[in-house]
A and B are shown apart, each in its own frame.
Chain A
Amino acid sequence: MPLLANWYDLRDLGNGVARLIEALRDAGAPDGLIYAITGLLGAVAILLFVGLAAIINIWIERRLIARIQVRRGPNRVGPFGLLQPVADALKLIQKEALQPNNADGIVFTLAPIVIFIPVILAFAVLPWGEQMVLADLNVGVLYLLALGSTTPIILFMAGYASNNKYALLGSMRVIAMLISYELPMVMALLGVVTFAGTMQMSGIVDFQQTHWSWLIFFQPLAFLIFLLGGTAELNRTPADIAEAESEIIAGFHIEYSGMKFGLFYAAELVNAVAMSGIIATLFLGGWWAFGLEQWVPGWLIFISKIYAVYFILIWFRGTLPRFRIDQLMAFAWKFLLPLAIINVFVVALEVLLWREYELSAGVVLPVAAVVNFALAGVLIAGWARVMGQAFERAPKKPRLFSEIEVPLPDEAAPEAGSGQTEPATV
Chain B
Amino acid sequence: MAIKTEPLVVNIGPQHPSTHGVFRMRVTLDGERIIDAEMIVGYLHRSMEKLAEERTWTQNIPFTDRMDYLAAMTGNLSYCIAVERLAGIEVPERAQYLRVIFAELQRIASHAMANGTFVNDCGAWQTPLFYMFREREKVLDLFEMTCGARLTLNYMRIGGVAFDLPDEFLPQLRSLLDELPDRFGEYEDLLIDNEILLMRSRGIGVLSPELAMNASMSGPMLRGSGIVWDIRKADPYCVYDRMDFDIPVGHTGDCYDRFVVRMEELRQSVRIIEQAVEQLPPGSHLADVPLNLRPPKGEIYSRIESPKGELGFYLVSDGGPEPYRFHVRSPSLLNLSALREMVVGQTVADAIVTLGSIDINVGEVDR
A and B are interacting partners: yes
* Interface residues in chain A, defined as those with a beta carbon under 8 Å from any beta carbon in chain B: 65, 68-71, 165-166, 168-169, 172-173, 237-238, 240-241, 244-249, 317-327, 392, 394-407, 412-413, 415-416
Cα distance, A389 to B330, chains bound together (Å): 41
B199 touches A327 (CB 8 A): yes
Q: Given A69-B126, A406-B229, does the pair A398, B17 have CB atoms closer than 8 Å? A: no
Across-interface contacts of B214 in A (CB, < 8 A)? 413
Interface segment, one of B45-53, B98-106, B345-353: B345-353
In the A-B complex, list the 3 residue pairs whose CB atoms are closest, starting with the nearest: A322-B123, A398-B248, A69-B130
Contact of B196 among A68, A248, A321 (CB under 8 A): A321
Across-interface contacts of A166 in B (CB, < 8 A)? 10
B348 touches A247 (CB 8 A): yes
Across-interface contacts of A245 in B (CB, < 8 A)? 17
Cα distance, A291 to B332, chains bound together (Å): 64
B229 touches A404 (CB 8 A): yes
A412 touches B213 (CB 8 A): yes
Min CB gap A423→B, angstroms? 19
> Which chain A residue shows the least CB distance to B249?
A399
Q: Mark B218-238, 1 if CB is under 8 A from A, else 0.
A: 000001000111100110000
Cα distance, A417 to B161, chains bound together (Å): 48
Cα distance, A240 to B122, chains bound together (Å): 12
Cα distance, A326 to B204, chains bound together (Å): 14
Known: A246-B121, A407-B209. 18 other contacts (CB 8 A): A173-B32, A238-B123, A247-B352, A320-B194, A320-B196, A321-B119, A321-B196, A321-B197, A324-B347, A324-B350, A325-B347, A326-B347, A398-B223, A398-B261, A400-B248, A402-B245, A402-B247, A406-B229
Q: Given A246-B18, A398-B261, A399-B248, does the pair A392, B198 have CB atoms closer than 8 Å? A: yes
B125 touches A317 (CB 8 A): yes
A322 touches B196 (CB 8 A): yes
Cα distance, A394 to B203, chains bound together (Å): 12
Min CB gap B348→A, angstroms? 6
A407 touches B227 (CB 8 A): yes
Contact of A404 among B31, B130, B228 (CB under 8 A): B228
Cα distance, A416 to B248, chains bound together (Å): 27
Contact of B246 among A247, A402, A406 (CB under 8 A): A402
Across-interface contacts of A320 in B (CB, < 8 A)? 124, 194, 196
Across-interface contacts of A325 in B (CB, < 8 A)? 32, 347, 349
Contact of A324 among B198, B251, B257, B349 (CB under 8 A): B349
A399 touches B125 (CB 8 A): no
